[in-house]
Chain A
Amino acid sequence: MAEKMLLLDPEKCNGCRTCEMVCSLKHSHGCSTIRSRVRVITLETQDLSLPIMCQHCEIPFCQKVCPTRAIYRDMTTNAVIINPKKCLGCKMCVYVCPFGATFIDPIDRVIIKCDLCEGDPECAKFCPNQAIQFIRNDKMGATKRRAGAQKMLNAITQMVVES
């Protein structure tokens, strides 16, 4: 089976923060935006919202800088994961993450980040707007490709009609 990935879509997100709530409920057993592994950012000036979370990079800076090798890649889900038992809380991974997607849990005193919920992410399940989707890697961008193809076809048809 093809690997699955998280797809985030700012055009669909309306900033409802359901993902934050279900994430913290699943991982921290309480509801708290700052214990969530996903954070919704709303840019009021542009009327835009987007959930920010780990992209599970192919070259994870966080893994590279981790002095205790607490960060590793899960071979089944391809998720980049932190082992809390090895985590020093040194915050090196927080500094280097280009998305700001590693967070400090103020209660457990460790670094937290998205672990793809062992291959069945709650955020994607609950997102009422499909702004977070967990889809096969070959489907990434598929909707846009189809929309793009439609536009091109329309343009071609138009040209044929006009000529």
Chain B
Amino acid sequence: MSFGWAGKILRIDLTEGKVSIESTLPYIKEYIGGRGIAAKILYDECGPEVKPFDPGNLLIFSTAPLSGTPIPGAGRVAVTCKSPLSVPEGLKVETGFGGYWGPELKFAGYDHLVISGRAPHPVYITIDNEEVKIKDAEKLWGRDSFETARLIKEDFDIDARVLTIGQAGENLVRFASILGGERYSATGRGGSGAVMGSKNLKGIAVRGTGEVKVADPKRLLEITGKWHELIKNQPTYPQDKKDGHFRGHFTSTQDFCTKGNYETGEYLPLKEMKPDPDKFVEDYQIKMVGCMGCPKPCFIYMNVPNVPNGGLACVSLVFFTGVVWNNDIHTIWEAGTLCNTYCMDASETAGIIAFMMELYRQGVITEKDTDGIPFERGSTKAIIDAVHKIAKRESYGDILADGIPMAAERIGINAKEYAVHTKGLFPHGYLFRALKGHSLLQAVGHMGGDPFPAPPPLRLELAWAFASDGEAKARKIGMEQYGTEEALIPNSYDEFKVDAVIDTEHAERGSDLLGTCLWQMPAMIPESLALDAFNAVTGIKLKHEDLVTVEEKLVHLERAFDVREGVRRENDVVPRKWLTEKVDNGPYKGAIIDEKEHEKMKDTYYQKRGWDLETGIPKRKTLERFGLGGVADDLENLGVS
């Protein structure tokens, strides 16, 4: 018996209705847990012949060794499948959600849940420890996610934890999500909800009454105490705890964010928001909610008139403000909550509405194309109508539901010129043109919009903008870690910034592998403490070097997966707009990405990664260094390396 890991992978084949169990243990030495093991399973079992909506696509829910312990952030679940939204189609989705579902799966005795096949009719799954049932979901189909979760709990077990999809997933909206926290916290990018919908799977309920075994309980309690203390000592903690920094998340009020469809760097002060954000919180907030064991819950839970009670975190607040030119807080809340009840990615939904607003402004579309609703900048009517119609695939919503690249194709004329996406996904609403490191991360990172917001060290590129001593700090840390003051400040193409990008990519994977939260480690919690926690739980002595090796191996494996789906250097690009239009306004006025400098950084990145400069494919030598010789063979057999 092992500590930390539950030891079992639960596999459910919906086509045959068959349930089987596999041991986790053969995977843990090489891939630790969570996202690592999921990537390995997906790579091995989901070749390029499988299309995202094929029954052969896998939908993998992964916990990690820290899940189900009191370590904050250990409520996260990594979700992995092939993306129906990406360009090229079928890249590996890397997303996740928080709440209580993941620990419950662990208590039920499973580290991972792998769904394959397609049910002949709508179903939902109930897992009561070792008893797994596939039940008819005819009565649930067509209902929203909040109601579905409630009905499943009533039918199965009131103490169960449920994840569901809404109508968007049923209708195969390519950026549909899965709601994991019952009334908050959904998988964001990539369209995992549509994959779940394509499997005719409406929800998964789990009840677990087992335990996660801990090697050194006393030490784990100590570490938990230290961890709490570090979080509580953050300067923003009191505000975060109170309302999740509600007002801090409006894009229009952040000078490192863009507005509209990457149209302007204009910066609008908070007083433009209506009604007053503090008053809004005071009137409607019930509490803050979050993940299991976390002292800093991320979701502000409200009871706003005419909107179902629910929680939203930063993404909805960020995207439904500046990106869609909106300064009405009621509209943010309604649109964000609708995205949760229908279950679709708020960032992608807002991104595509911003795209439509620009098309309308440029005269590419008129109100005749959108059921008589003019897509004026910031129009509440347009925003809410679009959210409903995309989720239901009604009228023009049917076109938008396929994502920005396909919608641009179907709209025709010169719509493509206005489409902003990286590998098919609308990027996070930052002023990337000023943030050269983040831009590189956008270009080379898998699945486009991933990984954002970037963890440290690269986050300092942003921190420069919003903290008064940010620049001095960024210069100092740049000097200490990378030997140059330029490595972490905006508008610099320094070659050592590439090292920061690489470290950031590793840091992002570290928290997923151990089973804690990207927001905590390494931003607030040093990696050493997370490793201490991991070692106290598992009884293994994992060192920094071991973790970095697995993180790097995972980068190459994920890259190889995407290469097999068709990604080459020519796909590793930023949107045309960033290379051709200068930022017109705001603190970063005049910023633009110089293509030559950007490509030079990319060269350095490929070199440091050990990928081929021309194609961007990992070299055999690199793969073999990480014991991925078999992967190199696969790529050779496909004739791509």
From A30, which residue of chain B is reached at the shortest CB distance? B211
In the bound complex, how far is the Cα of B444 from the Cα of A87, in angstroms?
A: 62
Instruction: Select from chain A the residue with minimum beta-carbon distance to B213.
Output: A30
Q: Are A126 and B224 in contact (CB under 8 A)?
A: yes
Is the pair B293, A47 in contact by a Cβ cutoff of 8 Å? no
Contact in complex: B297, A22 (CB < 8 Å): no
> How far apart are B513's CB and chain A's nearest CB, in angstroms?
19
- Residues of chain A contacted by B291 (CB below 8 angstroms): 16
**Which residue, B183, B290, B295, B296, has most C-beta atoms of chain A within 10 A?**
B295
In the complex, chain B residues whose CB is within 8 Å of the CB of A125: 225
Are B182 and A16 in contact, with the CB atoms below 8 A?
no
Q: Are B70 and A21 in contact (CB under 8 A)?
A: yes
Q: Would you give the shortest CB distance from B64 to chain A, in whole angstroms? A: 14
Tell me the bound Cα distance from A69 to B287 in angstroms: 43
Complex: A33 Cα to B150 Cα, angstroms: 21
Contact call B286/A32, Cβ cutoff below 8 A: no
Q: Is the CB of B292 within 8 A of A26?
A: no
Instruction: Report A114-136 CB contacts with B as 1/0, cut-off 8 Å.
Output: 00000000100110110000000
Among candidates B68, B213, B225, residue contacting A126 with C-beta atoms closer than 8 Å:
B225
User: By the criterion CB–CB under 8 Å, are A14 and B224 in contact?
Assistant: no
Q: How would residues 88 to 114 of chain B score, 1 for a CB under 8 Å from any chain A CB and 0 otherwise?
A: 000000000000100000010000000
> Are B107 and A44 interface neighbours, CB within 8 A?
no
Complex Cα distance A25/B536, Å? 12
A157–B467 alpha-carbon span in the complex (Å): 44
Whether A28 is near chain B, meaning CB under 8 Å from some CB there, is yes
A34: chain B residues at CB < 8 Å are 107, 209, 211
B297, chain A: closest CB distance, angstroms: 6
How far does the alpha carbon of A18 sit from the alpha carbon of B232 in the complex, in Å? 15
Question: Which stretch, B47-55, B214-222, B272-280, B581-589, touches the partner chain A?
Answer: B214-222
By the criterion CB–CB under 8 Å, are B211 and A28 in contact?
yes
Digitize A8-36: 1 where CB-to-B-CB distance is under 8 Å, 0 elsewhere. 00000011111001101110111111110
How far apart sit A47 and B213, CA to CA, in the bound complex (Å)?
31
Closest to B299 in A: A14
A106 within 8 A of B: yes
Interface residues of B in 299-325 (CB under 8 A from A): 301, 303, 309
Whether A22 contacts B211 in the complex (CB less than 8 A), given A16-B293, A47-B287, comes out as: no
Q: Which residues of B contact A44 (CB under 8 A)?
A: 150, 153, 182-183
**A33–B287 CB distance below 8 A:** no
A114, chain B: closest CB distance, angstroms: 17
Contact across chains for B70 and A47 when beta carbons are under 8 A apart: no
B 199-219 contacts with A by CB, 8 A: 209-214, 217
A interface residues, tally (CB under 8 Å): 27
Q: In the complex, what's the smallest C-beta–C-beta distance from B142 to chain A, in angstroms?
A: 21
Contact at B217–A14, with CB atoms within 8 Å?
Answer: no
CB-nearest residue of chain A to B295: A128
Q: Is B40 an interface residue (CB 8 A)?
A: no
Q: How far is the CB of A19 from chain B (nearest CB, A)?
A: 9
Residues in A with CB closer than 8 Å to B309 are: 47
Q: Are A14 and B290 in contact (CB under 8 A)?
A: yes
Smallest beta-carbon distance B380→chain A, Å: 26
Q: Is B387 part of the binding interface, using a Cβ–Cβ cutoff of 8 Å? A: no
- On whether A25 and B221 interact (CB within 8 A), knowing A31-B70, A33-B107, the answer reads yes
For B217, the chain A residues whose CB sits under 8 A away are 25-26, 29-30
Q: Is the CB of A122 within 8 A of B301?
A: no
Structural contact, A32 and B70, CB atoms closer than 8 A: no
**B211, B290, B295: the one within 8 Å of A31 (CB):** B211
- Contact at A126–B228, with CB atoms within 8 Å? yes
> In the complex the two chains form, what is the Cα distance from A59 to B286 in whole Å?
36
Q: How far is the CA of A31 from the CA of B208 in the complex (A)?
A: 12
Q: Mark B128-169, 1 if CB is under 8 A from A, else 0.
A: 000000000000000000000010010000000000000000
Assuming the A-B contacts A30-B212, A47-B303, are A22 and B221 also in contact, with contact meaning beta carbons closer than 8 angstroms in the complex? Answer: yes
Q: Does B77 contact A (CB under 8 A)?
A: no
Please report the C-alpha to C-alpha distance between residue A31 and residue B107 in the assembled complex, in whole angstroms: 9
Q: How many Å lie between the Cα of A22 and that of B228 in the bound state?
A: 13
Chain A residues with Cβ below 8 Å from B224 are 22, 126
When distances are taken between beta carbons in the complex, the residues of chain B under 8 Å from A30 are: 211-214, 217
A15: chain B residues within 8 A (beta carbon): 289
Q: Does any Cβ of A come within 8 Å of B294's Cβ? A: yes
User: Are B212 and A18 within 8 A (Cβ)?
Assistant: no
Chain A residue with minimal CB distance to B291?
A16
Looking at A15, A31, A107, A129, the one whose CB has the most chain B CB atoms below 10 A away is A31
Among A34, A35, A128, the one with the most B-chain Cβ atoms within 10 Å of its Cβ is A128
Interface presence of B69 (CB below 8 A): yes
Type the 1/0 row for B66-89, where 1 means its CB is closer than 8 Å to any CB of A: 001110000000000000000000
Which residues of B have CB within 8 Å of A21? 69-70, 292-293
Nearest chain B CB to A52's CB is how many angstroms away? Answer: 13
| Chain B residues near A28 (CB-CB < 8 A) | 211
Indicate whether B288 reaches chain A with its CB closer than 8 angstroms.
Answer: yes
Binary flags per residue of B483-496, CB closer than 8 Å to A gives 1, else 0: 00000000000000
Residues on B with beta carbons closer than 8 Å to the beta carbon of A26: 217, 221
Docked pose: A125 CA to B70 CA in angstroms: 13
Which residues of B come within 8 Å of A, CB atoms? 68-70, 100, 107, 150, 153, 182-183, 209-214, 217, 220-221, 224-225, 228, 232, 286-297, 301, 303, 309
Identify the 6 closest CB pairs spanning chains A and B, nearest first: A128-B295, A32-B211, A21-B70, A30-B211, A31-B212, A29-B217
